Amino acid sequence: MPHTDLLSTIPATMRAIALLEPNEQIELSELELPVPDVVDNELLIKVEYVALNPVDACFAKQGFCKWEYPHILGLDAVGVVVKASKGVFPSVGARVMWHGNIGEQGVLSQYAKVPNFAVSQVPDEVNLKDAATLPCAGMSALVALDKLQLTEGDSILIEAGAGAVGQFAIQFAKQRGATVFTTASKRNHKLVKQLGADVVFDYTDKKLSDKIRKELGPQGFDAVLDSIGGETTVRNVELMRFCGRIACLNPLPKFEQELMYRRAPNIGIVSLGGAWLANSLCAQQRMSFMGNLLLDNLASGNIKIPQISDVEFSTKSISKALNRQIDGGFTGKQVVKINHE
């Protein structure tokens, strides 16, 4: 489509799904807001799809210290560049994917702005809806595996293997030559096995730790990707070898001093939002590079994406979907198709 055609179709206002204030029920409002202005290296994107994440639901309930209300929710989006300054790449007409700035307005709107260095260009052979599933879960998995310095021959425990982060982590861990242990409900054992998991445990098993030790032997895990937190993190440190490595996606619990001395774990924290909150240009650019890696793997058939559930662009549907994200047992990705009519 010619650039002039795209520019001529940009309206003055847009529909957006916003949070008027944090609330336990995640009650949302539809607002008519001005289309964002873009300057310098910013891109104006016509948003096509937005993928929902547990973090969206958690902060909708609790709020976030950097938010101003009403706050547009959503962090993961794909769409088409409709406005960019001369010489800024990607140019008008490009299809892009990104994980947004948690400290600013989100992407559940018909248009959004984002710095050009934080987006990844979507290859023609990749469906935009499929691409929307990648940013938060895929990037979190990659950051975690990098922090774990995972190499060929390592043993790794990936918690919640059927969750979106877990599904990507299993596949990339196998690419790196690791032996993958994971936890999942019995109904999802077949799924995680198909993704490459070598050994699967039922996370509801009351003798889980004993069964892991029996399967693993006395040496303990080289690495753990912990997406659960709390007492699960304490248990996982206990299951690691001395000076093993653990990457945590949730706040750390209080550890007993004796456990820290006995295991001396290398603890890494995974925070995509930190790339924005720390104002780290390098970290923001790295998200673009990780996005390219995810898209290349998807285009080449080297990774499979979680099963997609479609969500309507309405307050009721999105509220229901966000509550579903944290009710437990959800294994796919919920994707909102943004309605431009």
Same domain, yes or no: 126 and 68 = yes
Give me the pLDDT at residue 4, please: 42
In a domain, 12, yes or no: yes
Distance CA 152, CA 163 (A): 24
* 106-120: average pLDDT: 97
CATH number, domain of 20, equals 3.90.180.10
Q: How far apart are the first and last CA of the chain?
A: 19
Highest mean pLDDT among 172-176, 217-221, 324-328: 172-176
Q: Is the pLDDT of residue 5 over 60?
A: no
- Percent of the chain whose pLDDT exceeds 70: 98
What is the arithmetic mean of pLDDT over 89-105? 97
Average per-residue pLDDT in the chain? 95
Half-sphere exposure of 332 (CA within 13 A, CB side): 9
Alpha carbons 209 and 235: distance in angstroms, whole number = 8
Do 44 and 82 touch, CB atoms closer than 8 A?
yes
Domain count, the chain: 2
Positive/negative CA dihedral, 137, 78, 72, 83: positive
Determine, yes or no, domain membership for 99. yes
278 belongs to a structural domain: no
Domain holding 254, by residue range, is 138-269
268-289 pLDDT per residue, tens: 999 999 999 999 999 999 999 9
Task: Compute the C-alpha angle 199/200/204, nearest 5°.
Answer: 150
**148 and 167 part of one domain:** yes
Tens of pLDDT, residue by residue over 253-264, are: 999 999 999 999
Instruction: Residue 90: count other Cβ atoms within 10 Å of its Cβ.
Output: 18
281 lies in some domain: no
What is the enclosing helix (H) or strand (E) of 139? Answer: helix 135-147
How do 120-121 and 95-99 pair as beta strands?
antiparallel
Q: What percent of the chain has pLDDT over 90?
A: 94
201 and 259 in a single domain? The answer is yes
Q: What is the pLDDT of residues 33-66, one digit of tens each?
A: 999 999 999 999 999 999 999 999 999 999 999 9
Tens-place pLDDT, residues 284-334: 999 999 999 999 999 999 999 999 999 999 999 999 999 999 887 788 999
Q: Same domain, yes or no, for 248 and 332?
A: no
Q: In terms of domains, do 81 and 145 share one?
A: no
**Shared-domain flag, residues 117 and 165:** no
Q: What is the pLDDT of residue 218?
A: 84
Burial 297-326 (b: 16+ CB within 10 A, else e): bbbeeebebbebeebebebebbbebbebbe
State the pLDDT at residue 7.
58
**Over 90: is that where the pLDDT of 173 sits?**
yes
> Residue 235 belongs to a domain with what CATH number?
3.40.50.720
Say if residue 153 is in the same domain as residue 70. Answer: no
